[in-house]
A = this chain, B = another copy of it.
């Protein structure tokens, strides 16, 4: 799919943590189970933790777990993992806002909104649930 490798890793990780809501998951296990390079994974985890998307417990017997109260959408992950690329306008990268629209701003509005809605509406923590 369109998602960057980092974003795909993030989606996997959050899904896994969601399946293990009760306990902690440590980096070693996540790396093995999800087939993500250990060192790269810990880097991602630290970023998540700093952005308060997950909680980390340091030291021996430590690990990671979801913050249960939080809803995390695909859009949130894109913003975190892909940085500048997750800008608002589908066409222009930087210099495009309501005041100074790019040439195709309005024309793209509809398909753009449709795609964005999917991203905004997909609660990553919920997608794995068996309901519905």
Q: Among B4, B12, B111, point to the contact of A118 (Cβ < 8 A).
A: B111
Name the interface residues of A84-101: CB closer than 8 Å to any CB of B: 85-91, 93
Q: What B residues does A128 contact at CB under 8 A? A: 104, 107
A104 to B3, CA, bound (A): 15
- How many chain copies? 2
Q: Among B15, B111, B119, point to the contact of A104 (Cβ < 8 A).
A: B15
A27 to B36, CA, bound (A): 42
Q: Is the CB of A2 within 8 A of B86?
A: yes
Q: Is the CB of A107 within 8 A of B127?
A: yes
Q: Among B2, B5, B74, B116, point to the contact of A3 (Cβ < 8 A).
A: B2
**Which positions in A face B, CB cutoff 8 Å?**
1-5, 8, 11-12, 15, 74, 78, 82, 85-91, 93, 104, 107-108, 110-112, 114-116, 118-119, 122, 127-128
